[in-house]
A and B are shown apart, each in its own frame.
Chain A
């Protein structure tokens, strides 16, 4: 059918879905090369050179990468274990409601809550004091705003592990893993073999795109590291915003350099994940 309407739809799609992203990227790109910006006077590699030379970006990228990786690995591993061990119980009425509750908590609340629990004046510090483990607040270990990002990782895990549990429970049912496991058993597979050859491959294969997607979301997370992060190094989003919002005008351009690099990284990730592939029959 030759109708005009789909073209209007595509036009609107481009206008709302593509133009803002393109505009934002081009703006950041121009700013990073000094083409635009209050104190900038023309094209220069100066900001790129200083960002790449100072190493702040790479430190921050490595830091963000490690935090996101550790948080995703622990969350996915934990969620798989919970699904494997507690699937039947989690389908019962009361529990099946309870496990959804963590989804009602946004990042900023998780950050706040983690801080309230683990800071030097927080809940656990009080308990430790009461139990006589510490006599002063300063003796309590650094668990928030700390070098190892324990607070951030803890928050991330509490945010995404419940999601993965729900996801795996869903996939388990939809992909009929139960029936396949019984089938494997009748073919002589042991419990361990079923886990390794049926349960894990099916769940991972069906969800790996989402796992990577969550890793990328964590890579760009803002609220939690803003509350629980330290001075340096910082996670990418926090670093970018801090530099862009500086009064030092050179820093603003450098902030946009980092923004461009970050955008490129996630865009490449998006292309690798979602590039049209003909042989991906299970996609969508």
Chain B
């Protein structure tokens, strides 16, 4: 397995936020995780990203134990719900940020960022500052900034949470396209049922710090806890 998370526990004070978290994920797959706010999903992602250290448990990436590795050495990118574009850099420089940190030659940076701008359908926006971009464009730049560094794993924390419905839909499609084009392995956290089903190769459900990953999408749909059944009943009842 590419990513293996084993028995992670994390508490803040007396409150156990993540309880015995264990799951694994194959390379180039997306695990979408459904969970309401406060269920511990952000803590889980930050722990995997190395921004929070777990009380106990182990994280293996590609067979290597990275539990104690500093975030900057993990090659795991954590993406916030907010786009968090650097306000002092334009779209091009925001995407190039990770590459510049890795001291990649200028020519290559230009090439990679141009290619990325194209894939993100952001041609012609390179010189714009974050304030001049729309919400969807900003989120795409933020994606490009994360993907351009070729991360081993991408952690997405409600990435489309602040977008309107139409933009959200377009972004979902674009994200699917990008994951294929760039062979991305990712964890995709959302509180939107439909989005969870759409985005993941695998689906998990998180509640009160416990994550349950389903073998099959069918199991996810059958499980009354996930809320799929009541949704089906609601829409069925309208007929």
Tell me which residues across on chain B come within 8 A of A1, comparing CB atoms.
Answer: 51-53, 71
Instruction: Indicate with 1 or 0, residue by residue over A1-38, a CB within 8 angstroms of chain B CB atoms.
Output: 11000000000000000000000000000000000000
Give Cα distance in the complex from A151 to B52, angstroms: 60
A2 vs B52: C-alpha distance when bound (angstroms): 9
How many Å lie between the Cα of A1 and that of B50 in the bound state? 8
CB-CB contacts below 8 Å: B18-76 with A: 51-53, 71
User: What distance in Å separates the Cβ of B47 from its nearest Cβ neighbour in chain A?
Assistant: 11
Tell me the minimal C-beta distance from A5 to chain B in angstroms.
13
Distance A1 CA – B52 CA, assembled complex (angstroms): 6
> Interface SS of chain A: helix, strand, loop or mixed?
loop
Q: How far is the CA of A2 from the CA of B71 in the complex (A)?
A: 12
Size of interface on A: residues with Cβ below 8 Å to B: 2
Q: How far is the CA of A65 from the CA of B53 in the complex (A)?
A: 53
Give how many B residues have a beta carbon under 8 Å from the other chain's beta carbons: 4
Residues of A within 8 A of B53 (CB): 1-2
Question: 1/0 per residue B204-233: CB within 8 Å of A?
Answer: 000000000000000000000000000000
Tell me the minimal C-beta distance from B21 to chain A in angstroms: 19
Chain B nearest Cβ from A141, distance in angstroms = 58
Return B46 CB to nearest CB of chain A, in Å: 10
**A1 and B72 alpha carbons, distance in the complex (Å):** 12
Q: Which residue of A lies closest to B71 (CB)?
A: A1
Q: How far is the CB of A101 from chain B (nearest CB, A)?
A: 32
B52: chain A residues at CB < 8 Å are: 1
Q: How far is the CA of A1 from the CA of B53 in the complex (A)?
A: 6
The chain B residue with its CB closest to the CB of A3 is B70
In the complex, what residues of A have CB within 8 A of residue B51's CB? 1
Q: How far is the CB of A3 from chain B (nearest CB, A)?
A: 9
- In whole angstroms, what is the CA distance A2 to B68 when docked? 10
A214→B71 CA distance, assembly (Å): 45
Distance to closest chain A CB from B224 (angstroms) = 39
Give chain A residues whose Cβ lies under 8 Å from the Cβ of B71: 1
1/0 contact string of A239-278 vs chain B (CB within 8 Å) = 0000000000000000000000000000000000000000
B153: min CB distance to chain A, Å = 19
Q: Min CB distance, B62 to chain A, in Å? A: 23
A228 CB to nearest B CB, Å: 48
Question: Which residue of B is nearest A2, CB measured?
Answer: B53
Min CB distance B215 to A, Å, is: 35
Question: Contacts of A2 on B, CB cut-off 8 Å?
Answer: 53
CA distance A253 to B68 in the complex (A): 59
Whose C-beta in chain A lies nearest to the C-beta of B50? Answer: A1
Q: How distant is B12 from chain A, measured CB to nearest CB, in Å?
A: 14
Complex: A228 Cα to B179 Cα, angstroms: 75
Shortest distance in angstroms between A23's beta carbon and chain B's nearest beta carbon?
36
How close is B71's CB to chain A, nearest CB, in angstroms?
8
Which residues in window 205-236 of A have CB below 8 A to B? none
C-alpha spacing A191/B51, complex, angstroms: 54
When C-beta atoms are compared, the residue in chain A nearest to B70 turns out to be A1
In the assembled complex, the Cα of A2 lies from the Cα of B55 at a distance in Å of 12
Shortest CB distance A53–B (Å): 53
Closest chain B CB from A223 CB (angstroms):
41
In whole angstroms, how far apart are the Cα atoms of A2 and B53 in the complex? 8
**Chain A residues within CB distance 8 Å of chain B:** 1-2
Q: Which 5 A-B pairs have the closest CB atoms?
A: A2-B53, A1-B53, A1-B51, A1-B52, A1-B71
A-B contact pairs, 5 of them (CB 8 A): A1-B51, A1-B52, A1-B53, A1-B71, A2-B53
